[in-house]
Structure 1
Amino acid sequence: MFDHVKFGVSDFAASKAFFLKALEPLGVAVVSEGVPSYGIELSANDEVSLCLYQAEEKPAHLHLAFRAASRQQVDAFYHAALEAGGKDNGAPGLRPQYQGRYYAAFVIGPDGHNIEAVYHEPEA
């Protein structure tokens, strides 16, 4: 559905560092980068990308869910995001209230965004 999603952040350097470390276990890397007011583009597959830029106004809180390729990737995302300064908002585990196979972890990022990694398949 999306080609890319772009949103402003209050501290470009902190958000760039957070997202690069937190999303590294999901295979996300820098695709392109310009000055902070232009921002950075991140992607795992060059089909869909996440773009961040330095905003003047305080950004509204978002919920961003990233698809993982395994439960182990969800776990790795969670630990990397906490190491990058994220705050716990739900440790890795099943979320049967959403769906029986919904395995996810949640962290709060630098601007208060709820960042999630999710895997939808049964455990192998």
Structure 2
Amino acid sequence: MIDHIGIIVTDFSTSRAFYEKALAPIGYGRLMELGPEITGTVRVAGFGENGKPDLWISEAAPGKLAGNTVHAAVHVALRVTSRALVEAFYAAALAAGGRDNGPPGIRAHYHPNYFGAFVLDPDGHNIEAVCHDPV
């Protein structure tokens, strides 16, 4: 099941304002924003409803729009029911030729139980498996 989707934008401030206005009529709002001090590279904003962001925008790393090791042009996260499945996805994806983009682990800056792993597919898209359940 798809948990969330992310896209890279070239002008973060303009895109953030666009999505805030465009999504408001359907009940989506900006629920989270993280800066480079958290992400390590760029600003990101998560939009959604009922406290869960499921549409993310990320500013492009300087000089890069797709296929770098931090962000790809498309990001899709697949929700799984256990941390063991996150680890199994990661191992299988690497064995299938994917490239590491973040090993299995807690990403507490999203929430305390966020356990995810990231791989880049053959085209450089960032594919994630995530479990939100505690242990």
Q: Does 1:79 align with 2:91?
A: yes
Unpaired segments of 5 or more residues in structure 2?
A: 3-71
Residue in structure 1 matched with residue 78 of structure 2 by the alignment: 66
Higher strand share goes to which structure? 2
Provide runs of 4+ in structure 1 moved above 4 Å: none
How big is the alpha-carbon RMSD for the aligned residues of Structure 1 and Structure 2? Answer: 2.4
- In 2, Cα distance between equivalents of 1:113 and 1:99: 24
1:61–1:111 CA contact under 8 A, matched in 2: no
- Normalising by structure 2, we get a TM-score of 0.47
SS in 2 for 1:66: strand
2:81–2:133 CA contact under 8 A, matched in 1: no
Query: What are the equivalent positions in structure 2 for 1:5-44 lying under 5 Å apart?
Result: none
- In 2, Cα distance between equivalents of 1:87 and 1:98: 23
- In 2, Cα distance between equivalents of 1:66 and 1:117: 5
- In 2, Cα distance between equivalents of 1:61 and 1:108: 11
Of the candidates 68, 93, 103, which is equivalent to residue 115 of structure 2?
Answer: 103
- In 2, Cα distance between equivalents of 1:79 and 1:68: 15
Identity of aligned residues (%): 58
- Normalising by structure 1, we get a TM-score of 0.51
State the one-letter code of the partner of 2:119.
V
Residue in structure 2 matched with residue 121 of structure 1 by the alignment: 133
- In 2, Cα distance between equivalents of 1:116 and 1:99: 16
